Amino acid sequence: MSPRPPLEPLPGWNGAIPLDREADGRWLVDLDPLIDPILCWSGKASARPMGGLPLQRAEIVPASQLGRIARRALGPDRQDRVEWFEHAENWRNRLISGDSLPVMEALLRHERMAGAVQAVYMDPPYGIKYDANFQQRVDRTRNDSDQTSDDVLTIKAFRDTWVLGIHSYLSYLQERLYLARELLAASGSIFVQSGDRNVHLVRNVMDEVFGARNFVAIIPFRKKTMPLGARHLDGMVDFLVWYAKDLESLKYHQLYLEQDIQGEFHWKAYDTPAGQTCRMTPEQQGDHRLLPPGARPFRLVSMKAPGYSAGNDFAIEIDGTRYPPPRGGSWITGSEGIARLKAAGRLALDGKTVAFKLFLDDFPLAKLTNLWSDTVGAFDKAYVVQTSEEVVRRCLLMSTDPGDLVLDPTCGSGTTALCAERWGRRWIACDTSRVAIHVARRRLLGASFEPFLLLGPTPADGFTLKTIERRTLRTIAGGLEPERIALVDRPTVKKGVLRVAGPFEIAAVGRYAEADWHASVQTEDGLENYIEVLCRLYAPDARIEVFGLVHAVFETAAGLAALSVGPLAGQVTASQVEDAVQDARTLGISELHLLGWAFEANLGATLDRLAAKAGDPPMAVRLVAIRPDALARGLKPGTGDRLFAPQGNPEATLENLPDGKLQVRLHGLTLPDRHGTETVTHAIDSGYIAAWYLDEAFDGDCFVDSQIFLDLSRAPNLKALLKVDIDPEEYRLQACSRPFEPPQSHRVAVRVTDVHGNESSVVLPVPG
């Protein structure tokens, strides 16, 4: 399989994306700078160059790990009891490793997705401390400032906050919001999650980007149940700021909650089964279980019409007394309607006027409003800043239909992807952190969902929804059947079926594209040479000295080392390694650090070959992976974060089994030690390897997960659901693959992820 060729850029994208103003100075949204307040900040731009890198598929995950385990246990005859949603046109959901800015640009420019996204859920860093927003290890939701003990191999580099503080943050947000706006459909919604410190600024920027008239709501939602003992007032909520692309065309579904009216002063009376009306005691008002059996709580609703109608201005007779409409008004319905209400026992005296008697059981649900005091923080967190799925669920169900596309540009542990998968929405999720991408993938691979009944072959055909009757003054007075309200969050669930995540792709920005070492990158100081910027980030004292593929030299404890930087939009290849080694040798240097965004699968073999080459002086080569947001603007060098991580080398062997099948054994991951002088091999059970994947028939390009090995922390009870026994070992990370047939491609590939989310691969040739 060859990588998808990038599409031609869309006509009209001439390299610049307008931010707040068109070329002729007109504002993009309906905004009058003389009247409307506008936020100013340092570095605010009205246009910026549009990046041009395409997305490249790095991996295909054809089936969930849980699904594979269940299918194996069920055997071939009962495999139909494991299912997932398939979308029309072979759509595959996407988890993208990269900075949201080039990712969204690629979606617009190369994937032609302008107007394709129905909802954006964005939970960016809150603009306080950048590094408080992602996690250092895949297996721990706590970030330690000093992790040297278990992290001897990570090279620290430095950015934990924004160069210009809140000013950089606002530029970061504004640029991404404009791209999100382009991606949204006319009926689309964007939800931005923020904390109380900056929510006012977020709202201001969104007013500018989307237009104040497209504001839908601010939703404070409860994020924790216990106050943590703040010095002043404890903060219990975060906020969602919701804008429509165009409020007039907004897609909106009303959600309902079970009514919790206990103690509400409106419901202070009830009817007994014998038809007697009683007032509730204060105790009964607070706890309806204290009411007599069969009691029907009700409240009185005014029947005064909002306008005046002479035809409805008449007196209602109750027990011989005539009651005119409240002063200066008329009734909400005519005499016929009033007669029906009376016959149905729905009229009651409220002081000196007549009111409508609304029973609790007329519609036992309450409309969801913008006050979400009933949510709590995420349970069993897999990620330090994980959002509660319930919060995302409400947003997606209000603003999308099954089959719609949802985008989360800062997905963290993939809560939005997981929620979209659960509710049959298509999704694209992206994050700069490799830890986040790994955690999101693990959550998806181990997740199970309610098997909702579809109305057709794909989720876009819709779910069969539960409906509920609603009797209102209008239906009773009009002699109509009760309304039937479809509950979009109550689809019919099938029994005895396990639903798992559907196939998805893992992609990155710009891999495999043509090598380009001559690029300039935008930094705080303007356009700068790509290589110089990276050398400076890696070794602040490096001297730029370009000699072939050696780009700089710097001092280490052991002497002089050469630095070589991989291409901005490509992967580091074996020939680059060989050339750089040769160039370093020519300079008389015996240590080479090679930085790359991505590495060709088999570099370990190249390094071994170079090491074994007779006659050459020894050369210590360190492959170093660059963090995807290393060049994101606005972040300033500081301490405590990682921009670079050593690239490991998986140690795996292929074993021939007596029946002709093959099996792969993973011995560990080899990395240079802290000083770069020795190597250390981390075995499968060392805690350093988070997961590994096997492509049983590697085509030399796209890695397809044929077998997956990772710890699934919470597996559902398949015994109860599918009546199958699962060996607990199935859920564990293990060293040996399952047997498989020798592939026609004559090679298999192994990919290993370490606890920091870094990946490295090795290709094993299959003889024959």
Ligand X SMILES: C[S@@+](CC[C@H](N)C(=O)[O-])C[C@H]1O[C@@H](n2cnc3c(N)ncnc32)[C@H](O)[C@@H]1O
Contacting positions for ligand X (CB under 6 A):
99-100, 123-125, 133-134, 383, 385-387, 409-410, 412-413, 415, 430-433, 436, 629, 632
Rounded to whole angstroms, the Cα distance separating 85 from 450 reads 11
- Pick the closer one to ligand X by CB: 300 or 406: 406
Q: List Cβ neighbours of 419 (8 Å cut-off, separation of 6 or more).
A: 389, 392, 393, 396
As separate numbers, helices (DSSP H) first and strands (DSSP E) second, the chain gives 14, 43
Q: What is the smallest separation between the CB atom of 4 and ligand X, expressed in angstroms?
A: 22
Q: Are 180 and 190 in contact (CB under 8 A)?
A: yes
Measured CA to CA in angstroms, residue 445 lies from 257, 439, 459, 687 at distances of 31, 10, 20, 20
Say if CB 322 and CB 314 are below 8 A apart.
Answer: no
Q: In sequence order, which residues have a C-beta less than 8 Å from that of residue 212 and are 6 or more positions away?
A: 31, 36
- Judged by beta carbon, residue 436 or residue 624, the one nearer ligand X is 436
Q: Cα separations (Å) of 174 from 160, 191, 648?
A: 20, 14, 37
3-state SS track over 68-105: HHHHHHHCHHHHHHEECCCCHHHCCEEEEECCHHHHHH
Q: Give CA–CA dist 632/522, Å, rounded.
A: 9
Q: Least distance to ligand X from the beta carbon of 121, Å?
A: 8
**Residue (93 or 187) nearer to ligand X, CB:** 93
Is the CB of 240 or the CB of 694 nearer to ligand X? 240
> Which residue in 748, 752, 763, 761 sits closest to 662, CA to CA?
748
Minimum CB separation of residue 443 from ligand X in Å reads 9
Cα-based torsion angle of the residue sequence 184, 190, 194, 197 in order, rounded to the nearest 10 degrees: 90
Q: 31 or 96, CB closer to ligand X?
A: 96
- When the beta carbons of 19 and 552 are compared against ligand X, the nearer one is 19
Q: Given the complex with ligand X, which of 195 and 334 has the nearer CB atom?
A: 195
- Helix or strand or coil: residue 489? strand
Instruction: Look up residue 422 and give its amino acid.
Output: R
CB of 103 to ligand X, least distance (A): 7
Of the two residues 409 and 451, which places its CB atom closer to ligand X in the complex? 409
238: tokens are: 């975060």
CA–CA separation, 161 vs 164, rounded Å? 9
Nearer to ligand X, 493 or 521 (CB): 521
Nearer to ligand X, 98 or 604 (CB): 98
Residue pair 652/662 in contact by the 8 Å Cβ criterion: no
User: Coil, strand or helix: which one is 687?
Assistant: coil
Closer by beta carbon to ligand X, 140 or else 738: 140
> Is the CB of 141 or the CB of 475 nearer to ligand X?
141
- Minimum distance of ligand X from residue 193's CB (angstroms): 7
Q: Which two tokens stand for residue 493?
A: 């669930």
In the bound complex, what is the minimum distance in angstroms from residue 328's beta carbon to ligand X?
A: 53
What is the SS3 assignment for 375-429? CCCCCCCCCCCCCCHHHHHHHHHHHCCCCCEEEECCCCCCHHHHHHHHCCCEEEE
Tell which residue, 497, 400, 506, 402, has the closest CA to residue 448: 497
Task: Decide whether 48 or 213 has the Cβ nearer to ligand X.
Answer: 48
* Residue closer to ligand X, measured from CB, 70 or 509: 509
Q: How far is the CB of 127 from ligand X (least distance, A)?
A: 11
For tokens 């890198």, the residue is 53
Name the closest residue to ligand X (Cβ): 412
CA–CA distance, 94 with 429 (Å, rounded to integer): 6
Contacts of 229 (CB under 8 A, 6+ apart): none
Task: List, in order, residues 6 or more apart from 348 with CB less than 8 Å away.
Answer: 277, 300, 354, 355, 357
CB-facing half-sphere around the CA of 312: CA atoms within 13 A = 19
φ/ψ (deg, to 5) at 405: -100, 130
Residue 61 C-beta: closest distance to ligand X, Å: 19
Q: How far is the CB of 382 from ligand X (least distance, A)?
A: 8
CA distance 13 to 349: 68
Beta strands in 204-267 (DSSP E): 215-222, 237-244, 256-258
Tell me whether residue 85 or residue 130 sits nearer to ligand X (CB atom): 130
* Least distance from ligand X to the Cβ atom of residue 510, Å: 14
